[in-house]
Amino acid sequence: MAIRTYGPQSRGMVVCTLVLLGVLGVYSAVYDAPAWTWLVWSLLAIASALLVATDRGI
């Protein structure tokens, strides 16, 4: 059984999503985050999940 590897675009999107989630989490802990910031993160997370799910790997 081969280990599945993902392409650089998928890895980049996952890293970007995790970094944004971390920044948004810290921001929300310090300030009152507007609802649109969570909407943007949710859309990015969905796009990342779709990209990873459809990535055929390298």
Question: In angstroms, what CA-CA distances link 9 with 4, 19, 29, 38, 56?
Answer: 15, 15, 30, 23, 12
> Tokens representing 55?
């990535």
Considering only the C-alpha atoms of the chain, give the largest distance between any 2 of them, rounded to a whole number of Å. Answer: 47
pTM over 0.95: no
- Would you give per-residue pLDDT tens digits along the chain (58 residues)? 566 666 777 777 778 778 878 888 888 888 887 878 778 878 877 887 887 777 765 5
